[in-house]
Structure 1
Amino acid sequence: MARREPLPTHHQSVPSDRIDGPVLVTARWVVGHAKGSHQLLERGEVVFERDSIVFVGHGYSGEVARRVDFGEALIGPGFIDRDALSDLDTTILGFDNQPSWEKGRVWPKSYMDRGPYEMYTPDELAFQKRYAFAQLIRNGITTALPIASLFYREWGETWDEFAAAADTAGDLGLRVYLGPAYRTGNTFIHDDGRIDFFFDEPRGLANLDEAIRFCRTFEGRAGGLVRTMLAPDRIETSTAELLRRSAAAARDLDVPIRLHCCQSKLEYDAVLRQHGMSPPEWLRSLGFLSERALLPHGAYVSGSSRIDRPGRDLEIIRDGGASVVHCPLVSARHGSTLESFARYRAMGLKIGLGTDTWPADMVLNMQVGMMLCRVVDASATAVRSEHYYDAATTGGAEALRRPDLGRLAPGAKADLVVFDLGHDRIGQVIDPIQTLMVGGSGRDVDTVVIDGRFVMSSGVIPGFDAAEAHRQAQAQFDRLTARYPERTWKHPPVEEIFSSSYPRVEPNQESTA
């Protein structure tokens, strides 16, 4: 990176101050937006003042308070992550340890009978959000809808932890949509290995009431950075009454509502068995589908290779106005994907992206998505780089009904991400978006501006000690895995739950080789 004037150093511990006056940033490439589409501006300029963009183009003639030239770089809109990991990395626990229900990812009945409990303290939950939110910023994600696992919770997420999350988002400068996840049921395993469902509807409805109160209390906090949403956790652990009331509340509050749906065969078959309808058919019958509805992951649908059932699941989602949240990286790790992203786009489905796993690397997410689509369709022309880049930017903005996000254009929010394209590991550049899709990474994010604030510069987030946070996260993770036998079927020791890639040799232990 070259010829950059130093960014402001005052109040570094609280990245909330904006530069007083217009700021002009430029780079080798700028992703502008005009006439309903992104465009590449060579040696382009972006000017923003306070929280909004005032100019995108060439040859700005007005006075500016600060100029920053990022040199061989790409300046683009911030990514919108609609299923953003706000947890420690639990994907690694099931990556090579399957089946997941046998490895602690579903509660055994013995654990339920003893009474589930919170496996994290309030302080640990608050730390997780700060740690995860910082990782999102470091990967160029400027708008996030957090997601965390309920496997480690007593039941649902709480008011207090999300009040702390709102404070953290404001402190770090991340734009978020927050709402505690809730449910009316959960899966569990009988002693004989049968997977079953337990429901406590009154408890879930009480949690919904708390979530509604949270929305009314926290909407617009931190100068508008904090917005709210409703987050019923999974379709298979929701009762009809919970979903009806949630949809009605989303309409009344005019907030997004996210529900994990069509993400596994177990879920699809359970809904079909319980209600005589597919998940999308059931949601339509409940009046749940609308332009506010966000549905991760959308991979298990009628007519796909995974669901041997005729039907119009995708058409139901599309016609209901809902949006699919595509999470290609985490889906691929579990052996599934959309069939296919190109088909969904051609049908007119609204598609945005979510990471939903570690790392929160939207570039890697897009790369995997492109490869999966081309493999599924057996065609290198099935999808292009800009299709996934659109999904990560304008696609997410459309689903949130936020035309001021996901684009660099006058009047849009000043949410910008700078990718360093000047180092030797990036490869050669003929087109910066294509280069990102081939050789880029979230680690190439150099600077992030959100709402007109420089929340990260040269890879550093003011007030966030990455090395210390990493140490604390590992210690917290170790405490979690040590307690895994308590909530794993038949309660095997830790070393049987989590296999080793190769035999481990302890210090002073002779090798058998």
Structure 2
Amino acid sequence: MTRWQDLPLGRRPEGRWALAARWIVVDRPEGRRLLENGEVVIERDRVLWTGPRFEGAVAARFDLGEVLVTPGLIDLDALSDLDTTVLGLDNQPGWRKGRVWPHDYAGREMYAPEELAFQKRFAFAQLLLNGITSALPIASLFYRAWGETVPEFDAAAEAAEDLGLRVWLGPAYRTGGVRLDAEGRMHPEFDEPRGLAEFEAAAAFAARIHGRADGLISGLFAPDRVETCTETLLRRTMDRARDLDLPVRLHMAQGEMELQTVRRLHGVTAPEWLDRMGLLSDRLIAPHATVATPEDLARYAANGVTVAHCPLVSGRHGSVLRSFSSLRAMGIRIGMGTDTAPADMVLNLATGLIADRIAGGSASAADFLNAATLAGADALKRPDLGRIAPGAKADLAVFDMADTRVAPRIDPVQTLIWGATGRITRATLVDGRLVMRDGAVAGIDLPAARAQAQAQFDRLVAQYPERTFGHPPVEEIFPPAYPLAQRQMEETP
């Protein structure tokens, strides 16, 4: 038996090799099953066998003991920056905390190009730490000059290839934004020529990057939040995506500001607006659907739209999908996303289960694991992902069921999703490569990167007074949870 610790990070083992585990979630023609005391045999980038001990020849066999092996998790709305939404959780309202530009702020980049490149690399490593093997990155445009840039996504492609993360990449673009006037009222402002130029650059990038790194990197169209898009931008996006056969992710039906802005601009909700234009389709992935009306959801169901469910970030802002169970009953495909720090998919699955029960649903742990694997793969039209079956890509997540914090253990899938977090992720494999093991990720020094990320984020926060309404100091924008204690001189007895 070859030692697991001897398997090199970031490289495929030579020949076919076997991974033995106490439990493996496998996919059979008759459906998904839990295999006990079985093996997965991998050859290059594919699963060759699932079942009891493989009797054929293997170059190496690794027995991981008391672990649960699942298909690699698929994140349809994967955090790929240093999350600024966490700044607003205890600091409301958001428009007074720099989330919306004041009238006297000239939008500019708050990060240098090398910082933008670093944050993608760091965020991608966080995804791998949590068993996420496929990701559609998302970053905030609130602190950007306008949209995302092609150079930063060239750097993102390089980072994904170095770390071994499977990604769908495309710079976010928009034709408008929301600005505060001198009295603090929100008004949409548009610059369509600028947005259309950025769309053309993003489309050229997606076409150029698609299929890079032996298929590890794919193209994506990522228009920003629906209220920042004009009809022309959305029509061109869907036309080009159809021509290139690429997915489109568009945030809509996700919040009150969007709902009121779109109604003011177009007289209807965002899903109805897109439906009237004939732009809803099965290539569209739409986070978060928490303010979608019953009529909007019926439109999603009729047109095959996938909802990217991100229950942790929604719940943090006081909203909830109503409900996961109800949408599934309507025939809506629901995949999963993280969209906040920590990029912990297991925690999102647990939060989603709890939110579904509160909203009157009855979904199970298996339903949510299926959403994070099978549904995500189907949304991307990739039947070789989200499954552990012969011929599927060897994208796997390994969870430690002997962790001292996971007790008592019942069914391993229920134990994982009801009672754990992604912190018990022991290993992540992508395309047949071991890319994360015991907290170490191929291609990055995580302790050094953690320190760099904090310093970079602190510099970002220091710039907030300039882009916050009324320009208050940082201490007023983001006060500490408790007032800071005053230092007192010790009295000498």
TM (norm. structure 1) is 0.94
1:331-352: per-residue Cα shift (whole Å, max 9, x none)? 0000001111110011110100
Q: Which residue of structure 2 lines up, in the alignment, with residue 82 of structure 1?
A: 76
1:206-263: per-residue Cα shift (whole Å, max 9, x none)? 0110011001111111111000100000110100000000000110010000000000
1:253 aligns with 2:244: yes
1:66-120: per-residue Cα shift (whole Å, max 9, x none)? 1111100001100000000001021221010001011110111110xxx211000
Map 1:12-161 to 2 at 5 A.
15=10, 17-35=11-29, 37-111=31-105, 115-161=106-152
**How far, CA to CA, are the matches of 2:455 and 2:254 in structure 1?**
31
Residues 437 and 3 (structure 1), Cα distance of their counterparts in 2 relative to 1, 3 Å cut = farther
1:372-398: per-residue Cα shift (whole Å, max 9, x none)? 110111x6xx11111111100001001
Aligned residues: 491
Task: Letter of the 1:330 partner, please give it.
Answer: V
Query: Secondary structure in 1 aligned to 2:92?
Result: coil
Deviation of residue 510 (structure 1)?
8.3
Q: Which residue of structure 2 lines up, in the alignment, with residue 179 of structure 1?
A: 170
Alignment counterpart, residue 195 of structure 2, candidates 190, 204, 212: 204
Deviation of residue 507 (structure 1)?
4.4
Q: Which residue of structure 2 lines up, in the alignment, with residue 332 of structure 1?
A: 315
Task: Letter of the 1:375 partner, please give it.
Answer: I
Alignment counterpart, residue 422 of structure 1, candidates 402, 411, 415: 402
Q: Any unmatched runs of 5+ in structure 2? A: none
**How far, CA to CA, are the matches of 1:97 and 1:510 in structure 2?**
35
**How far, CA to CA, are the matches of 2:421 and 2:31 in structure 1?**
24
1:298 aligns with 2:289: yes
Task: Letter of the 2:436 partner, please give it.
Answer: M
Task: Letter of the 1:28 partner, please give it.
Answer: R
**How far, CA to CA, are the matches of 1:104 and 1:77 in structure 2?**
39
CA contact (8 A) 2:101 2:179 kept: yes
CA RMSD, Structure 1 to Structure 2 (Å): 1.5
CA contact (8 A) 2:162 2:442 kept: no
Deviation of residue 37 (structure 1)?
2.9
CA contact (8 A) 1:247 1:287 kept: no
**How far, CA to CA, are the matches of 1:37 and 1:504 in structure 2?**
56
Q: Which residue of structure 2 lines up, in the alignment, with residue 269 of structure 1?
A: 260
Deviation of residue 462 (structure 1)?
2.8
Deviation of residue 302 (structure 1)?
1.8
**How far, CA to CA, are the matches of 1:66 and 1:6 in structure 2?**
13
CA contact (8 A) 2:365 2:418 kept: no
**How far, CA to CA, are the matches of 2:185 and 2:353 in structure 1?**
37
Task: Letter of the 1:266 partner, please give it.
Answer: M
CA contact (8 A) 1:215 1:228 kept: yes
Q: Which residue of structure 2 lines up, in the alignment, with residue 8 of structure 1?
A: 7
1:12-34: per-residue Cα shift (whole Å, max 9, x none)? 5xx2x211111100111000011
Residues 213 and 154 (structure 1), Cα distance of their counterparts in 2 relative to 1, 3 Å cut = same
Deviation of residue 197 (structure 1)?
0.5
Query: Secondary structure in 1 aligned to 2:34?
Result: strand
Residues 102 and 48 (structure 1), Cα distance of their counterparts in 2 relative to 1, 3 Å cut = same
The alignment-based identity, stated in percent, is 54
**How far, CA to CA, are the matches of 1:30 and 1:150 in structure 2?**
40
Deviation of residue 430 (structure 1)?
2.0
Q: Any unmatched runs of 5+ in structure 1? A: 304-311
Q: Which residue of structure 2 lines up, in the alignment, with residue 318 of structure 1?
A: 301
**How far, CA to CA, are the matches of 1:405 and 1:350 in structure 2?**
16
Task: Letter of the 2:485 partner, please give it.
Answer: V
Query: Secondary structure in 2 aligned to 1:495?
Result: helix
Residues 36 and 212 (structure 1), Cα distance of their counterparts in 2 relative to 1, 3 Å cut = farther
CA contact (8 A) 2:403 2:424 kept: no
Query: Secondary structure in 1 aligned to 2:41?
Result: strand
1:114-148: per-residue Cα shift (whole Å, max 9, x none)? x2110000110011001000000000000000000
Task: Letter of the 1:300 partner, please give it.
Answer: V
CA contact (8 A) 1:3 1:70 kept: no
Query: Secondary structure in 1 aligned to 2:405?
Result: helix
Task: Letter of the 1:328 partner, please give it.
Answer: P
1:345-372: per-residue Cα shift (whole Å, max 9, x none)? 1111010000000000000000011001
Residues 3 and 375 (structure 1), Cα distance of their counterparts in 2 relative to 1, 3 Å cut = farther
Query: Secondary structure in 2 aligned to 1:426?
Result: coil
